[in-house]
Structure 1
Amino acid sequence: MSDMLTLTTHPSIAAIDPHVWDGLGDGNPFTSHRFLLALEQSRSVGTGSGWQPLHLTVERDGAIVGAAPLYAKSHSQGEYIFDHNWAQAYVRAGGRYYPKLQCAVPFTPATGARLLARDDMARAALLDGMMQVAGRLDVSGTHVTFCTEAEAALGAAAGFLPRITQQYHWLNRGYASYDDFLGALSSRKRKDLRKERARAQGFGGTIRHLTGDDLRPHHWDAFWEFYQDTGARKWGQPYLTRAFFDRIHETMRDDILLVLAEADGMPIAGALNFLGPDAIYGRYWGCAEDHAFLHFELCYHQAIDHAIAHGLARVEAGAQGDHKLARGYEPVPIHSLHWVRDPGFLRALEGYLRQERDAMGAEIEALAEFTPFRKGDLSP
């Protein structure tokens, strides 16, 4: 078999066979062809969004053996591993930071493979290809965010700079029930969470789990209102269009869990989750009424319930949120890769990231002391 590899960029994922793309992935819903296509078809990405698709494939003997979700970016919004300070420093030094290349899932701070490939040779070719494309397009550099630890190591060997940031994930240690999970906590924390859940569930209505064909258009109408309200408060305007939710209903409803709170038969709050082979990913939340602890119940506790019931290894509940610690979510390292074409700026970033990694390691270790688990009772 020939080792000759051919790199190709694609202005739309629609140009790539979905069976080929998904056959290279690991089942993560966010790097699935249907998710990325929904972003494009709904115009959540593309012209005017600052996320211009430029997906990369690697072919060997005429067959695609590697692929990566790649975008030309004109800003740093919607990334969650941010480089705003780098951009400002780059401009002060007389450079032009934007556009840049971003290998990522837009608006989605969830971990998973970014170099979809059958072997490390193809993965290395994807990384090299990103650097080549950056040079060809005369952009500042390229970044790979929320990648796996193994991809981070491969990228470091290829000349990318590894970065470590931090999120909170709930880890399933073989719990048989939520009460079993509570048994791993200190007595006071168990009582606090029981009280919190009782108060949240006493809001005067019902909580429903909706997936697959149980999801109906009126559920999406309600959730769109929730999403618009939350998006307007957090980002100024929502990243996703209304059409995106219609698209994922058509193509991904079996990969979705909508946790909905209803009062008098009317939706008043909801949390949208995506389901992977080994994890549940909390993505969006919103409400029409404020009730004590209902946000924590729908977003965190109900996700834990689902993970335990379905034997999932973890819950990823999105970016930020120190309040997740008290609810059993633990600090974990998040990996990314960064490369800029300017050698002087690359050297400066290398020193900065080395110090940041040391500080982040110490922060994760310190935060772990604030989890509600009994001391010395956790196993890896």
Structure 2
Amino acid sequence: MPQHFHPAIAEIPADQWDALAGDQPCLSHAFLAALESSGCVAPGTGWMPQHAALWDGDRLLAAMPLYLKHHSYGEYVFDWAWADAYRRHGLDYYPKWLSALPFTPVPGLRVLGVDEASRRALIAGVIDHVRDSGASSLHVLFLTAEEAGWLAEAGLEIRHGVQFHWQNAGYRDFDDFLARLAQPKRKKIRQERRKVAEAGVTFRVLRGAAIGADDWAFFHACYCRTYAEHRSSPYLTLRFFEDFHRARPDACVLMIAERDGTPVAASLFLQDAEALYGRYWGATEFIPCLHFEACYYQAIDYAIQHRLARFEGGAQGEHKLSRGLEPVRTTSAHWIADPRFRDAVRRFLAQERDGVDGYLDELTEHLPFKRQDG
């Protein structure tokens, strides 16, 4: 069964890729293709697509998104210290190999296949390819616990992190959700929502074909403003959002905040059958508590109304805990070519995992929900 490395996702038939990937929008052929067609993912931006695929004739048996990277931007699993250690020893950390969803810390499958044997065969071939390439390492980010198990068997080191997800406990409406919270947290959320309402802000929630060109233009301006405020450059172009929306319209949920009929902020979410995924937001002016309303409360309300199982709030942010999102463990896997650095990384990750375990325990003790007696 031949294995190939494709410099463009377009070389792999969309129907076969999506049959293995399932419904998750960020893993879809359309999402990855839009990143490439818009130029956001390209050698010139430090992302060189080399998607791995295992074939039986014209039938796709297994595949994984794979990139040769010349930096560590847009990953959300930080290895800058590892790169610095290589540099201080006179070695090159870049290029490295990365299996991930570019700019998108959404957990899920990374090694796709018709069965486990095909997936294992694919990853074995990828490791051989990485070794032969002379690159420093391979990194598989935000993968599933099942994948982590057999990637560890294949010699990859496992790393854990923390995200915050809201879980739908069958709430009837937003007030029912609030009723499950401890009184101080419930009061704080109501106060924050009241400030936004008293500022005269209302929301238009748009999905799929209801999102127009002007809506995308306004959203992208807000998105760019957020990066500018952090003295950074945006990763994604307006063309990317438009291309993806054209291919997967129902995956896009855009919430636009307005005051006196004028848009003042926008937040973008992606949706599948089970979950809502928080992605980007921005505002044209500061309005107290608008960020919380646009990025969390509107999303929770939407998830309840549409009976979605969870809302994933994106990377980082302990402030999400007091707003009803719960800590969850994330997982990545890492293969380091140099035996000396492999041992050092192994020791570091063992200590880091202990720290993550303690952090999760501490966060769990401070969940905002009412205590259950007995």
Q: TM-score range by the shorter chain?
A: over 0.9
Deviations along 1:155-191, whole A, 9 cap, x unmatched? 1111111110111111112212111111211122212
Q: Match for residue 309 of structure 1?
A: 305
Residue 139 (structure 1) aligned with residue 135 (structure 2) = yes
Give the count of matched residue pairs.
374
Which deviates more from structure 2 when the two are superposed, residues 176-185 or residues 107-116?
Answer: 176-185
- Structure 1 264/345 Cα, relative in aligned 2: closer, same or farther at 3 Å? same
Deviation at 1:206, TM superposition (A): 1.8
Which deviates more from structure 2 when the two are superposed, residues 28-37 or residues 364-373?
Answer: 364-373
Amino acid at match of 2:86: Y
Amino acid at match of 1:147: L
CA contact (8 A) 1:131 1:141 kept: no
Deviation at 1:96, TM superposition (A): 1.1
2:178 maps to which of 182, 189, 196:
182
CA distance in 2, matches of 1:61, 1:351: 43
CA contact (8 A) 1:231 1:239 kept: no
CA contact (8 A) 1:201 1:294 kept: no
Q: Match for residue 125 of structure 1?
A: 121
Q: Match for residue 57 of structure 1?
A: 53
Q: Match for residue 315 of structure 2?
A: 319
Give runs of aligned pairs for residues 52-131 of structure 1, distance below 5 A: 52-60=48-56, 62-131=58-127
Deviation at 1:26, TM superposition (A): 2.3
Q: Match for residue 23 of structure 2?
A: 27
What's the TM-score once normalised by structure 2's chain length?
0.97
CA contact (8 A) 2:245 2:251 kept: no
CA distance in 2, matches of 1:309, 1:65: 38
1:198 maps to which of 194, 214, 223:
194
Q: Match for residue 232 of structure 1?
A: 228
CA contact (8 A) 2:157 2:346 kept: yes
Amino acid at match of 1:100: K
Deviation at 1:267, TM superposition (A): 1.4
Q: Match for residue 357 of structure 2?
A: 361
1:207 maps to which of 203, 206, 229:
203
| Percent of matched pairs sharing the same residue | 44
CA distance in 1, matches of 2:372, 2:158: 31
- Structure 1 377/350 Cα, relative in aligned 2: closer, same or farther at 3 Å? farther
1:243 maps to which of 235, 239, 261:
239
CA distance in 2, matches of 1:247, 1:202: 37
Which deviates more from structure 2 when the two are superposed, residues 267-276 or residues 120-129?
Answer: 120-129
What's the TM-score once normalised by structure 1's chain length?
0.95
- Structure 1 216/68 Cα, relative in aligned 2: closer, same or farther at 3 Å? same
Structure 2 spans left out of the alignment, 5+ residues: none
- Structure 1 377/71 Cα, relative in aligned 2: closer, same or farther at 3 Å? farther
CA distance in 2, matches of 1:235, 1:43: 22
Q: Match for residue 6 of structure 1?
A: 2
Residue 41 (structure 1) aligned with residue 37 (structure 2) = yes
CA contact (8 A) 2:253 2:268 kept: yes
1:18 maps to which of 14, 18, 23:
14
Root mean square deviation, CA, Å: 1.5
- Structure 1 161/135 Cα, relative in aligned 2: closer, same or farther at 3 Å? same
Q: Match for residue 218 of structure 1?
A: 214
Deviation at 1:62, TM superposition (A): 4.6
1:291 maps to which of 277, 287, 291:
287
Amino acid at match of 2:109: A
Deviation at 1:61, TM superposition (A): 5.3
1:148 maps to which of 120, 144, 148:
144
SS of the residue aligned with 1:86? helix
CA distance in 1, matches of 2:62, 2:259: 48
CA distance in 1, matches of 2:112, 2:236: 25
Q: Match for residue 335 of structure 1?
A: 331
1:280 maps to which of 263, 273, 276:
276
Q: Match for residue 366 of structure 2?
A: 370
CA distance in 2, matches of 1:11, 1:37: 11
CA distance in 1, matches of 2:229, 2:100: 24
CA distance in 1, matches of 2:108, 2:231: 24
CA distance in 2, matches of 1:290, 1:130: 47
Amino acid at match of 1:326: S
Deviation at 1:205, TM superposition (A): 3.3
SS of the residue aligned with 2:35? helix
CA contact (8 A) 1:44 1:241 kept: yes
